[in-house]
Amino acid sequence: MIITIEQLQQILAIPQLPATALKNRAEKWRPHLQAAMDEFGITTLERAAHFLAQLAHESGRFAFVRELWGPTRAQLRYEGRKDLGNVEPGDGFRFRGRGLIQITGRHNYFTVGRALGLDLESQPELLEQPAVAARASAWWWAENGLNELADKGNVDHVSDRINRGRITAAVGDSNGYAERKQLTDRALRVLRGAA
């Protein structure tokens, strides 16, 4: 499935962002997203719609490739989290969310880096480069079975997998569920040509 700049603009639609800025954002990301989607089997309408919608939510509509740092209480809990591989002082901040899907934690940086042939542990900021951000996000997506979940068309399950069970429609708008659903619905309409 080929994604056009116009389709990406329509999916990202941000009323307060000038049209030229939105077009620039779509032009910047489209080739990297297309290459990553092709490489990791995100090639059907459903897969592309879910992928683009979830990444749009996670990255503030492709505005951020590094987690904004307060630090918040949740971010302070990254420090020392063995499940994230954050075992050295400062790992929580150093391995904060990066890329379009917000890869988080030393272990995840190592795993993604090994898969892509990059040393993300030594150079975590590589995940902020557009080509790497898109490719790492698509690899993580495919590796975590999200193509198959997108094939089933269930936004709840896709969102839960990305945030490890912290999102469900039953809980309400936990961690941006409403926006994820809205973006997915819009992406499906746009890619079907019914925007």
Same structural domain, 76 and 121 = yes
Taking 80 as the threshold, does the pLDDT of residue 175 lie above it?
no
DSSP string spanning 140-188?
A: HHHHTTHHHHHHTT-HHHHHHHHTTT---GGG-SGGGHHHHHHHHHHHH
Taking 80 as the threshold, does the pLDDT of residue 51 lie above it?
yes
Q: Above pLDDT 70, what percent of the chain?
A: 94
User: Is residue 135 a part of any domain in this protein?
Assistant: no
Tell me how many domains the chain contains: 2
Domain of 15, in residue numbers: 1-63+147-195
- pLDDT tens-digit readout, 112-134: 999 999 999 999 999 999 999 99
Q: Which of 98, 128, 158 is the last residue of a domain?
A: 128
pLDDT at residue 195, as a whole number = 59
Cα separation of 188 and 194, whole Å?
Answer: 9
Same structural domain, 3 and 53 = yes
User: Is residue 151 a part of any domain in this protein?
Assistant: yes
Average pLDDT along the chain: 93
Q: Above pLDDT 90, what percent of the chain?
A: 88
Mean pLDDT along residues 35-60: 98
Whole-angstrom Cα Rg for the chain: 16
Are 5 and 26 a contacting pair, CB within 8 Å? yes
Cα separation of 142 and 160, whole Å?
Answer: 15
Same structural domain, 58 and 72 = no
Sign (positive or negative) of CA dihedral 15, 19, 185, 157 = negative
User: Is residue 14 a part of any domain in this protein?
Assistant: yes
- pLDDT tens-digit readout, 126-167: 999 999 999 999 999 999 999 999 999 989 999 999 986 554
User: Tokens in use for 122?
Assistant: 């030594």
User: Is residue 188 a part of any domain in this protein?
Assistant: yes
